[in-house]
Amino acid sequence: MTRALAARSLELLGPLDGSLAVVGHRPHRLAAALGAHVPIASGDVAAAAVVTFLGAGAAPAERQALVASLGRRLPAGAPVVVLDHNQPRTHWRRVLGIAALALRGLGPSRARYPAARELAALGLRVERLRLMCGERIQLVAARCGRDTAPQGVELEVPAGSK
């Protein structure tokens, strides 16, 4: 699954002109999968970022501090992809999602965290929301700063979902 998330993240980021920062909850496996395709940032400056909150029960203040710190590392307009839990719409997928969260010691409310709204409130321009793994994971594509007028958010639902 890590390779699939890395591939989708790279697709959402688009072509990169520089290194990629990978931060968040246990980013090492994701960084290794991404590092096979793009250079991973080792210092304070990066051209883009992938943030993972998968498996994390991080408090909103911790999440917001992490995303805000990216503002100091990334140039205006830099692409950012955030990976987070999501609550599936269909009942049987929702049950599977709750079970997956429970195995990680997280409650069902963790899947209802408004990641895209949080990014927008922190000054990132949300462009796309993609769902994966039976809608249990959301990938939010955004850009640093509100340097252009918003074009609307594109929602991509996996094939086979209602």
Rounded Cα gap, residues 61 and 66, in angstroms = 9
Distance CA 114, CA 112 (A): 6
Tokens of 65: 């501090």
**Residue 110 carries which DSSP code?**
G
- For the cut 70, the answer to whether the pLDDT of residue 123 exceeds it is yes
* Residue 92: per-residue pLDDT: 58
Summarize pLDDT for 49-106 with one digit per residue, the tens: 999 988 777 678 888 888 888 877 899 899 999 998 776 666 656 566 667 656 767 6
- Report the range of poorest mean pLDDT among 18-22, 114-118, 132-136, 152-156: 152-156
Tens digits of residue pLDDT in 131-162: 877 677 889 999 987 544 445 555 455 565 54
pTM of the prediction? Answer: 0.79
Residue closest to 66 by CA, chosen among 74, 76, 75 = 74
Give the domains, in start order, of the chain with CATH numbers: 2-156 (3.40.50.150)
